[in-house]
Structures are given as C-alpha cells and as structure tokens.
Amino acid sequence: MDDPILHTSSTFNPQVIAAIQERAELGRYMIRGFGAFRNVPRLDDLVFLTASMTRLPLEGYREKCDTRTVLGTRFAKRPMELEIPITVAGMSFGALSKNAKVALGQAATWLGTSTTTGDGGMLPAERDASAKLVYQCLPSRYGFNPKDLKKADAIEIVIGQGAKPGGGGLLMGQKVNAVVAGMRTLPEGVDQRSPSRHPDWIGPDDLRIKIEELREATDWEIPIYIKMGATRVKDDVKLAVKAGADVIVLDGMEGGTAATQSIFQEHSGIPTLPALVQAVEALKEIGVYGEVQLVISGGIRSGPDVAKALALGADAVSIGTSALIAMGCNKPVYIEDYQALGTEPYHCHHCHTGRCPVGITTQDEDLMARLPIEEASTHVANYLQSMVMEAQSLARSCGKSSVHNLEREDLVALTLEASAMAKLPLAGTDFILGQS
C-alpha cells in the first residue's frame, strides 16, 4: 500500500543526505560560490519611525537630501569623495570576466562612486573605465604591482572576507586562462589557492609597518582602507585603527564570493547587522568615530538596507553580489546552460565552475560575449540610482536633509533577535533584549 506521508528527519534531511553522499563520492569538502544560505537576522528586521506629528518630513519634490560621502579623512591628503554612499566591492578579474569588471567600473563612474579591484591585480581596462578605483593588497599578492599603487585612488588591505573569514581564496583552473595566468604569473589551467594571511606580517605591529610603507609609496596622498570579515569585531576594529587605517571595511557573513569551501559560508563569521553595531561601538570607545570612516558590506540589496546601515552608524555601504544580480546573474535566460550545471535560474551559485550562463563569472569567450558592457553598465547604474532614491526617500520621511543624518533613534526592531543584535527597542515597546 502506498503511504502518502513521507517522514523526514530534521537532522538528516534530504539536503544533509545529499551532501553526505556527495562528499562520500568526492572525498573532499564542497566548494561553491555566492554567500551563506542560512537565514540570519538582517536589516530587514528593522523598520523606520518616519515623521508624523513629532517630526516633519521633507518634501521630496522641493527639498534636497544630500548623499555626498567622503572616506579617508584621517591621514590622506586626497580623501575619496563620492556622490553617493554606495561603493562597489572588490571582486577579482579571474573570478569575474573582463566585461563584468569594466561594466562595474563604468557604472560606478556614472554614479560618481568607486569600484575596487580584487585578487589578481589591476586590470588596465577596469582602470580606464573607473574614475575612482580602490586597489586591493591581498595576502596572495597575485598581480600586485607597486607601479599600480600610483594609479590608485585608495588602497584596501584585505585581511579577510565575510564569506570566508580566516580562509583563503580559490580560483579553479577552468577560469585560469592565459590572460588571468599572465597577470598572476602562475600556470594556466591550474587551480589557484590564495593564502589566508599576508606573508610579511603576523600581527598588528607588522600591519602598521605595511601601512607606513604604502603611505610612503603613495606620498600620503590616498587613503588606506582595511577590509576584514566580521568575527571578533570590536577587537579587530580597534587593532586596525591602532595600526593606522583611514577606513574600516567590514564584511558580514552574508557577503559573497566566487568560490570557497561551503563550511566557511555557513559556519563562520557573524551577520552584518550585529557586526555593524559592534564596529560603531568600537570606534566610539576609542574616540575615533567620525575620524575613521566605516564601510559595511554583506547582503546589502536595497535603498532601505543602505538607509538602515547609515542610521546604525556606517558612513557608506559596499555591494558585490547584488551588483552582479543587477547586471544579469541568475537571470532566466539560457535555461539549458543552467540545467547543464544542475541548477535553475534564481538558484545558481556555480560561479566556481567558470560556466556562468550569463557571462559574468567566466573566462570563456563565447559566454562572456553574452554580457555586453554597455547594457550591463546601464543596468548596474540604474540599480545604484534606484537604491540612492530609495535611501533619500526614507531619509526625507524621517525629516533628514542628508542621508548621513539618519540615526539610531529613527529605527526599531521587529524581532527579539534583531533587538538584541542592534540594541534597539522592540517595535511598540521600550524593551531592548539584553538591556532591559
């Protein structure tokens, strides 16, 4: 007799069973792209207390709401001046196609903001397309060229990423074509693993020396950012500031990557929401809040996310995965190519394979041709513009003439978890979990 009820174990559910059996066949850990799949408390769990009787809103058609953002005012002679509080995060040429890198740079330029290089060095076409380019200094030093420091508008020393804090990067051999291999001075077609820590320093004192070297190499002209994955946030932020950082870039566990062990994505780091709150507290405790700017990343998707991050104390946000989605990642086209990867549109996280159906995370010439630069640039620019307009709308509704005037008291939490992590009252109450 057929039993219509299928009993499913909570411990060994179908996903767990499939993962065990896949590892049993492969004999190694799982590798994939994208970010954490697990559900975590996020900025969605906060809402604004917009103006009513106690405060007056601004009129959107007549009253301006400023979005100008300046990063790196602590030591740099030439801080990074941006038209909007949204930047594009570092993503490597190799992980991304040339067309994708150039499109990101062009879109950022159109909106008056910055984009960032990534592992593997500075792609000349990206430099040409980007009015403001942040040059990353990563543990691998792949493609790192002191001459390119002179071409940069800021330097970002990468300690870690939210998707894999404490772990190094991966670039599978199928994406290492002749151009990528040449820039990294590594063999073509061979898997590359980026180390998890820098080769020439083992602690904050060494980091201070590295920062001073970079400042001297760039005549103290441009700001130096330090990017880290969110783990022991308070201590890490304080040590980075002590080492001399102008800007802290903090990446929560919702942050994305083109390839890493899935264990890092799901089992390391803390979400963006509590990471942001702890970072602001750390800056205030050592008296540098406002002097050292804070950029938050990891799961930023919309204008409300931007506005809430600024209200919690960030100076700017950085986007990666959402920018790729804007240019076509997971778009329902070339369905048969998604299926060949064993997935479907809206579910693809197969960036590591180099077989991206929409030409973003690939070095295959035929696939890359599916991503026209002008069209991709336009889509990313439209997306950035819409996020800015959304953030401005919320700021005006709170009576603010600048998005940077948003503040914590404009927010309340919808869940107990968010209340505890953001240290904000639960909506409709004075109750803050852990403090009341």
In this predicted structure, the answer to whether residue 193 has a pLDDT above a threshold of 90 is no
Return contacts of 58-61, CB within 8 angstroms, 24+ apart: 58/395, 58/396, 58/397, 58/399, 58/400, 58/401, 59/396, 60/392, 60/393, 60/396
Chain segment 317-374, per-residue pLDDT in tens:
999 999 999 999 999 999 999 999 999 999 999 999 999 999 999 999 999 999 999 9
In this predicted structure, the answer to whether residue 1 has a pLDDT above a threshold of 60 is no
Instruction: Report the b/e string of 37-66 with b at 16+ CB within 10 A.
Output: eeebbbbbbbebeebeeeeebbeeeeeebe
Q: Can you say whether residue 32 is alpha, beta or left, with left for phi > 0 and alpha for psi between -120 and 50 degrees?
A: beta
Of 6 and 423, the one with more pLDDT: 423
Q: How confident is the model at residue 384 (pLDDT cuts 50, 70, 90)?
A: very high
Of 6 and 431, the one with more pLDDT: 431
pLDDT at position 3 is 64
pTM of the predicted model as reported, rounded to 2 decimal places = 0.95
Chain segment 63-87, per-residue pLDDT in tens:
999 999 999 999 999 999 999 999 9
Other beta carbons within 10 Å of 232: 12
Task: Summarize the confidence of residues 303-328 as an average pLDDT.
Answer: 98
In this predicted structure, the answer to whether residue 306 has a pLDDT above a threshold of 80 is yes
- What is the DSSP code string of 367-381? HHTTS-HHHHHHHHH
Q: How far apart are CA 349 and CA 259, in angstroms?
A: 9
pLDDT, averaged across the chain: 94
Task: Summarize the confidence of residues 214-221 as an average pLDDT.
Answer: 96
Return contacts of 330-333, CB within 8 angstroms, 24+ apart: 330/358, 331/358, 333/357, 333/358
Q: Which of 150, 154, 148, 147 is nearest to 132 (CA)?
A: 154
In this predicted structure, the answer to whether residue 123 has a pLDDT above a threshold of 70 is yes
Q: How confident is the model at residue 434 (pLDDT cuts 50, 70, 90)?
A: confident
In this predicted structure, the answer to whether residue 436 has a pLDDT above a threshold of 80 is no
In this predicted structure, the answer to whether residue 275 has a pLDDT above a threshold of 60 is yes
Of 4 and 262, the one with more pLDDT: 262
Residue linked to tokens 């061979």: 190
pLDDT at position 23 is 92
Asked if 303 and 388 touch (Cβ cutoff 8 Å), the reply is yes
Q: How far apart are CA 263 and CA 261, in angstroms?
A: 5
Chain segment 276-295, per-residue pLDDT in tens:
999 999 999 999 999 999 99
Q: How far apart are CA 431 and CA 436, in angstroms?
A: 6
Residue type, 434: G
Q: How far apart are CA 179 and CA 94, in angstroms?
A: 9
Task: Summarize the confidence of residues 143-151 as an average pLDDT.
Answer: 93
pLDDT at position 4 is 66
Asked if 250 and 295 touch (Cβ cutoff 8 Å), the reply is yes
Burial of residue 297 (number of CB atoms within 10 Å: 0-12, 13-18, 19+): buried
pLDDT at position 2 is 54
The two tokens of residue 36 are: 């954490």
